[in-house]
Structure 1
Amino acid sequence: MIDQSTPLPNVAVVGLGKIGLPLAAIFANNGYKVFGADINKDVVTSINQGESHVKNEPGLDHLVLNAHKNKTLSATTATSEAVAQSNIIVVIVPVLVDEQNNIDYKIIDRAVQDIAKGVKKGSLIIFETTLPPGDTKNKFGEKIEDISGLTMGEDFYLAYSPERVYSNQIIQDLQNYSKVVGGVNKKSLELASNFYKKALDCKLIEVSSLETAEFSKVAECVYRDVNIALANELAQFAEDKSVNMSEVITASNSQPFSHLHSPGIGVGGHCIPIYPYFFINKGLDQGLTSLSRKVNDNMSNYAISKIKKRIGSLQNKNILILGLSYRENVKETTKSTALLLIDQLKDNRANLFVNDPLFSDSEIAKYGANPLSLNDSFISEIDVVILQAFHQEYSHLDFHKFASCKLVLDGRNKLNKKEISQLGIQYEGIGN
């Protein structure tokens, strides 16, 4: 329990998205008064009404409502004002890559400018946004110095502690994962560590520098990307040798030093397909890191080639993609393999349909696909089904309805091959 006999410093959380809002809500329920800042007016309005705009995040609705009732959480679009009222500023706004995979700093640049205009002497600024090594100090620390006239490490303190959570279990992860913390100097590290001990009551891993903390987060994502690429490469080779890759993984991983990931139709989301470019674009442009990106992004091509090998031309075939989201049970399309499949199926002049229970018909249509309910009678006219994201709604899918279906491509190796095959439908997995 936190000792609240001494008032805790005010906290500004800049960026109230799927990670920023849980952080703000937890801080606000642990004795801190939190001023949230976000450029989205609808997000600000919902939070100020005690409602979470982030869905499917267990426990978050309660935390937001409770903080609202206790008047410990408020939100504003005026970042500088939120910062000016606070002693600790936590920055968690997105840094992504553009279509050419160049790092896109536009959103965070704007946020840092606003932070620099509001920061006061003695404040602690902590970046949680995933960044290329060196950016916290050399890009953003120096920008704050230039605009504010304050000196980092003396007039304001600077730390970095990467978010390391997984959608649908963020609050649980914040409790269970160790918090990696680095500071621009000893005082910055001490202040940040003390804050997280009180605010999150979690274990800490204090590292020697900002750059080490930054590097650790990107390295985590590169590891997973490389491991998945290895699994995808082995899965394709296993198919050539008529070997079941799922059995291989179970057998191989019984050895305690083997940690093969699962193969799949592609890798999506805000992390794994994006953050390797934070190394690639800073000089690590040769070797496994860049090669893995190519292997994983090519899995959609591989999937389409498997379909064409089975049924021939896709022109005028009715093809249904299950899952617009990048992964199961999350409403998020960033770098989703579904988008790559949509483009390729259009190039092959297929009749393209998408089902995703987390998205409305109009939301699906924006991606250039025809939305199709699983209760629609047209299901019986579908020629090919591609499982892209295994939402829980697909766990009991009735393939009897797909009377004309010739092939099911199970891009996540989650469907029942035996049941599908007994209906006279060809089944294809990845490595199976």
Structure 2
Amino acid sequence: MNEQQNTSVAVVGLGKIGLTLAAVFANNGYTVYGSDINKEVVTSINNGKSHINNEPGLDQLVADAHNNKSLSATTITADAVRKSNVIVVIVPVLVDDQNHVDYHFIDAAVQEIAKGIRKDTLVIFETTLPPGDTRNRFGNKIEEISGLRLGEDIYLAYSPERVYSNRILLDLQTYPKVIGGINEKSLRLAAEFYTNALNCQLIEVSSLETAEFSKVAECVYRDVNIALANELAQFADAKGVNMSEVIDASNSQPYSHIHAPGIGVGGHCIPIYPYFFINKGLKPGLTTMSREINDQMASYSISKMEEEIDSLENKNVLILGLSYRENVKEPTKSTTFLLLEQLRKKRANLFVHDPHFTEKEIRNYGARSLALNDEFAAEIDVIILQAYHQQYSSLDFTAFSNCELVFDGRNRLNRREITNLGMKYLGIGN
């Protein structure tokens, strides 16, 4: 592989992280060929438009790269790979309904990469993976199909994405890039690439597996910490203690970092990646218990509501937030789906509001959409805050004139304002 800076990069997978990486690379001296199976995504990028909303700075980066002719996209991955000497793979790996790892998207992408790869190419996986997969599942498959030898003809590295929606560009500048390689040359080439492409701090680790393990461990830590907060919050409820005050007081000690309790944990990361350890042989313990505790928070919350109003049968229940968290349009593993499933069993009448989703999109998820200014708002009996979108910080509760109970699943609403209207207020651990 040429020791000088490599100028052509294929980014495989153009979701919110993949597109952001592609746009940054394309504005830092690289010619970038993106690939994605979604034709609409490819068309948008080739027109200089970002298909990702609410990612500050991304629209301009995509437009600039388009104008400079440094970013293009295709649905044919092998073509993008043939033109490039660095391949960055950021195709999602999730879990199915039985929490088994679902590889079908990335397996297909790797097949196409192997068809187009040339000698002296560096392949970097950024997708979060169970330890061992970069080498054993994907590296070996590329070697098998291409006939090129890993570490000699082609080079293999792993560097996990570590960014957060709505602040990806900032996080790329802030968080160190963890890098592991299949051999010393792979590690050095990957380090040189990220130094030039991102100009960020690097943490070079001893193996592919160490880099893979580090990313999953980050997410397991957060899941366990949230589970601890949720367990303590339930105990605080039983003892009449305000958990929010406890956290503020406890975390004033520098070795304490208790996370916030909540109605549930969602998204692409925290409720998914612990299974990358569990399904690879991690013995039952804190990790498995934490998954159970966090997934049970929806049920716990519903039981708290029933203690206040006896029964939810035939009650009009409005859930605020389809997204798994605030200020993003992302439904993956959202607690709202757990709430809808359990509230249906209670025979409640269910409505959902989320400013990031259209009425049709909400309906496609099996719920009825309700605008906050709809006259039917006056018929709502129970409100559940699931995702604290910015729009809810100024929500006028006077429109819900018959509401009996507001359940604040994120402990963010104004309790006094709600109770002054004659509504009951409940939160998690307060």
Alignment TM class, shorter chain as reference: over 0.9
2:6–2:86: 8 Å Cα contact kept in structure 1? no
Q: Secondary structure at the match of 2:425?
A: strand
- 2:286 maps to 1:288: yes
2:297 corresponds to which of 296, 299, 303: 299
Q: Deviations over 1:33-68 (max 9, x none)?
A: 000000000000000000000110000000000000
Aligned to 2:162: 164
Aligned AA (1:284): L
Provide the identity percentage. Answer: 71
1:7/1:198 CA distance change after superposition, 3 Å:
closer
Displacement after TM superposition at 1:240 (Å): 0.5
Aligned AA (1:10): S
Aligned to 1:426: 424
Q: Deviations over 1:353-398 (max 9, x none)?
A: 0000000000001111110000001111100000000000000111
2:127 corresponds to which of 120, 124, 129: 129
- 2:326 maps to 1:328: yes
Alpha-carbon distance in structure 2 between the residues aligned to 1:157 and 1:7 = 15
Q: Secondary structure at the match of 2:91?
A: coil
2:40 corresponds to which of 36, 39, 42: 42
Q: TM-score, normalised by structure 2?
A: 0.99
Q: Secondary structure at the match of 1:395?
A: helix
Aligned AA (1:349): R
- 2:105 maps to 1:100: no
1:256 corresponds to which of 245, 254, 257: 254
1:416 corresponds to which of 406, 414, 417: 414
Displacement after TM superposition at 1:285 (Å): 3.8
Aligned to 2:183: 185
2:6–2:193: 8 Å Cα contact kept in structure 1? no
What is the number of residues matched between the two proteins?
427
Q: Deviations over 1:203-237 (max 9, x none)?
A: 00000000000000000000000000000000000
Q: Secondary structure at the match of 2:394?
A: coil
- 2:15 maps to 1:33: no
Alpha-carbon distance in structure 2 between the residues aligned to 1:287 and 1:52 = 43
**What is the 5 A alignment of 1:12-161?**
12-161=10-159
Aligned AA (1:332): E
Q: TM-score, normalised by structure 1?
A: 0.98
Displacement after TM superposition at 1:9 (Å): 2.1
1:367 corresponds to which of 365, 368, 381: 365
Q: Secondary structure at the match of 2:351?
A: strand
**What is the 5 A alignment of 1:326-365?**
326-365=324-363
Q: Deviations over 1:75-128 (max 9, x none)?
A: 000000000000000000000000000000000000000000000000000000
Alpha-carbon distance in structure 1 between the residues aligned to 2:328 and 2:267 = 10
Q: Secondary structure at the match of 1:89?
A: strand
Q: Deviations over 1:179-199 (max 9, x none)?
A: 000000000000000000000
Q: Deviations over 1:243-294 (max 9, x none)?
A: 0000000000000000000000000000000000000000114000011000
2:5–2:193: 8 Å Cα contact kept in structure 1? no
Aligned AA (1:192): A
How much is the aligned-residue C-alpha RMSD, in angstroms?
0.7
Aligned AA (1:30): N
Alpha-carbon distance in structure 2 between the residues aligned to 1:118 and 1:405 = 60
Structure 2 residues not aligned, in runs of 5+: none
Alpha-carbon distance in structure 2 between the residues aligned to 1:238 and 1:315 = 28
Aligned to 1:212: 210
1:279–1:285: 8 Å Cα contact kept in structure 2? no
1:8–1:31: 8 Å Cα contact kept in structure 2? no
1:391 corresponds to which of 372, 389, 392: 389
Alpha-carbon distance in structure 1 between the residues aligned to 2:283 and 2:45 = 42
When structure 1 is superposed on structure 2, of 209-218 and 363-372 the one drifting more is: 363-372
Aligned AA (1:173): D
Displacement after TM superposition at 1:317 (Å): 0.3
Aligned AA (2:152): E
Displacement after TM superposition at 1:401 (Å): 1.0
Alpha-carbon distance in structure 2 between the residues aligned to 1:206 and 1:375 = 53
Structure 1 residues not aligned, in runs of 5+: 1-5
2:409–2:428: 8 Å Cα contact kept in structure 1? yes
